[in-house]
Structure 1
């Protein structure tokens, strides 16, 4: 009967636990609010008392030595069950402590992750803001600024979900290719046959002169497009194109000649625009990629600088030639006047 009654008690207890199983799962609350802890304490106590009551009821109470000896002898089993109460309670305490430690570790990791994520976002936004500010300080030779900071940044970087935008090699490759194309156009222009420049009137060699002038315009137009292409790629406004400048020079040529001085003026404008390309390319690259080597990515920029230097040398030669011819004409005029 004792065992049957205990089986019924255990069954009812298990049904209660199953019905309220969520209550018996360890959580972050304090130990005294853990149902599993109280189950571990109470179950052995109730079981021990239940079995002890069944055993003790069959013996009479004696308060002498023999009675106590007999009591402890017959109570080994219920006392053994009672002893499980602190042991099971200790297991639950240990499990709860481990659970709390795990929660604390997870919370600490979560807080650390959030702090790192916030720090990563702050660094990303700070870096981006700094780049925008540096780009905003850049002016070209016409005192024009970059029109679209967001556009040029989106060209220069590949957006990432990890707040760590990476350099877009396609941007630097395209810019490098555009400078290469400009260099080719510059060399084409500089390789023009200059002999017709130094004839004072187009009537001297009309066919050759007109052909030369048309060729010059084609080369200048190609150069003009190359300059504009680079400036547009870097989102700068274009004030006055090189081809417009050239046509204004031709219109101002009242004597219908393409003289050395006009050629020098055109070369000077080409140098100015070439310097502008070198300058804005360098400043934009430095603003976008402060830790990158310019010459590693824009390899043709040094070649462009050398061409600029060569054009400046040519300008000095043309000016020297013009002054020499001008002085020669003055001497010839004076000799003719003296002869008369």
Structure 2
């Protein structure tokens, strides 16, 4: 029987429920020598596989699994040094394959033969930090060449092979995303009343639901000042800006957004760090004045409008600004069949 004190870890977005740990339930078949692990069917959509770790430590392999989006639940059976993996058959098979790659006999160090691993799609510094945090490297050293996007592994040949296998699995092309930011200018009601969302004729029809939400916070007389659009992928930085002239005597407003798209384990969602600024640039050439600034990290479902921040202007009493973001997939769509 498996120990009832197993700690279950969710890797990715899988639902964790190990019924085999409940009293009276049968445990999966104990793996035999030479097996890659017995598989027990839970239902038509999920299976449980016990994967014996023969050369390494099951807890170390679990630490390598945790940053990855494998979409499985994993527990460690310390008495047999095994991983207990539950999930969809394909996801469990992928976890078993990665375990076999990582679970190899140690070899003598080979310090004089560094290995260079090209990183094509992910941030090489972030990937190096993940490896250093989750691998028991021993005497092996991992560094980076940021100019050429290389990981430099110097030490045990087996450790280098394990790191290369991990990089090949996680360094995959990221789905392109389209980020659209809307700066909405308005006024704030100070009499305690709720504004009428219908008082926003200048907003496009798709932003009317946003106007209704802002109206509940006191926004009125809203207008779209500047939409900014840029493309980005996971683990990449983005930046976009623009200027709105107000005439020779009125100066101009400058809009800027920047940030980074972070990996999200939730399908159909995006995680972004964003900072938005609005500056007023006087016509007479005086120094710019910051009207509005917002900075946050958020997770949003693709296609939703999200109010990042809404606040009164720092320059004009009664004036306010809101920053709204929408993230969409920028994958090219296949032409419709004729």
Taking structure 2 as the reference length, the TM-score comes to 0.20
Structure with the higher strand share, 1 or 2: 2
Q: Which structure is higher in RCO with an 8 Å CA cutoff and minimum separation 6?
A: 1
Q: Looking at CA atoms only, which structure, 1 or 2, has the larger radius of gyration? A: 1
Tell me the TM-score normalised to structure 1 length.
Answer: 0.20
Q: Which has the higher helix share?
A: 1
